[in-house]
Amino acid sequence: MNYEERELLLDEHPIVTKKYLVVTPTIKRVYSLIRERVWMRRTGTFLFAMPRMGKSTCAEAVQDILEAEFPKIFTILFAAEKRKQSDSGLLIDILRADKLPVHSRTPYKDLFNHLITHIKVNISERGGAQFILLIDEMQLLSELDLNVLLVLHNRLELDKIKMTTIGFAQSDIQHLRSALHATKAQNLLARFLSEPIPFDGCANKKDLEEILNEYDNSLVYPDDTEFTYTRFFLPIAYSNGFRMNEYADPIWTALKRASKPLEEQSVPVQHLFRTIEYLLLAGRVKDGESYKISTRDIDEAIEASNLKEYCGILGSSGG
């Protein structure tokens, strides 16, 4: 691929469109815990972390991996929203998340039966008996929402279908747990919120090395070529031995310094990915046989990722 061909493809590159997935070490660790709960037919579990740690990406990855490993299960992933109290609202969100047209004024009973039928049909097509509901931003659910989910669980149980609810939440989901304790809703706590899983972004330098290795060796564009992301942007340097993972130490040191106000061990992955992307995009105009990433390059990339602004906001609010 010559320079002109590469430039024609640049606007559609996943680094530019932000449409790509890195299965990070944290996602792998989390999935091993979730798959065990799914395999054991547990009723519910949830992950929690600060914003920008990659929970939403993890939810999408977990759904994809679960469906690949357990082809007989049926899954739906939806994002919870803050809205007026309504027993119908949650059902509408779930149905629309699976691309089903639903009128907002449809009666609760009709919505409930529609969802039950949809789940049963899809499970029957797969020859299975298990439904997995993945909920992003689970902290936005209300006690009423959880009661609706409880009814859904019980109804599916009558139809010999096991349901597991997996939540992905920000740390303030602990407020919801406290509220449920206050109202003595032990059944909801036991069913959905009794198995918390702490979620890290990028936990350490070793994790960063594995992530950078994905850019160097696994992620490719165009598909079915040997142009890894690193090679695409730095073909000359790459052919002369340049690899992003060799810079894990200075990148990690700079990220930890920039994220110090968070007082967290891990680094927010959204800002980490923006840093890596900036280094590749900025590096393409400097590509050469002896190209190296400088400390200044790393600092500029972290500045462009807005990590410092994010840390300032969360650090001043107490995280």
Cβ proximity of 73 and 38 under 8 Å: yes
Neighbours of 290 (CB within 10 A): 8
Residue with the bigger pLDDT between 172 and 18: it is: 18
Return the minimum-mean-pLDDT range out of 98-107, 116-125, 185-194, 305-314: 305-314
Tokens 């530019």, located at residue: 16
Which helix (H) or strand (E) covers residue 41, if one does? none
Q: Which of 14-28, 78-92, 280-294 has the lowest mean pLDDT?
A: 78-92
**How does pLDDT run across 122-158, given as a tens digit for each residue?**
999 999 999 999 999 999 999 999 999 999 999 999 9
Torsion-angle region of 132 (φ positive above 0: left; ψ -120 to 50: alpha; else: beta): beta
Contact between residue 131 and residue 161 where contact means Cβ atoms under 8 Å apart: yes
Has residue 262 got a pLDDT over 80? no
- SS3 label, residue 4: helix
DSSP assignment of 48-111 equals EE-TTSSHHHHHHHHHHHHHHH-TT-EEEEEE-------HHHHHHHHHHHTT----TTS-HHHH
Q: Reply yes or no: is the peptide bond before residue 198 cis, omega within 30 of 0.
A: no
Q: Are the C-beta atoms of residues 161 and 124 closer than 8 Å to each other?
A: no
Backbone angles phi, psi at 184, to 5 degrees: 60, 35
Residues contacting 210, CB < 8 A, separation 6+: 24, 25
Distance of CA 157 to CAs 34, 111, 189, 310, 318, Å?
21, 18, 18, 44, 42
Residue 173 burial by CB count (10 A; 0-12/13-18/19+): exposed, middle or buried?
buried
CA 22 to chain centre: 10
Alpha-carbon distance of 34 to 69, in angstroms, equals 12
Tens of pLDDT, residue by residue over 67-116, are 999 999 999 999 998 877 777 999 999 999 999 999 988 999 999 999 99
Residue 317 has pLDDT above 60, yes or no: no
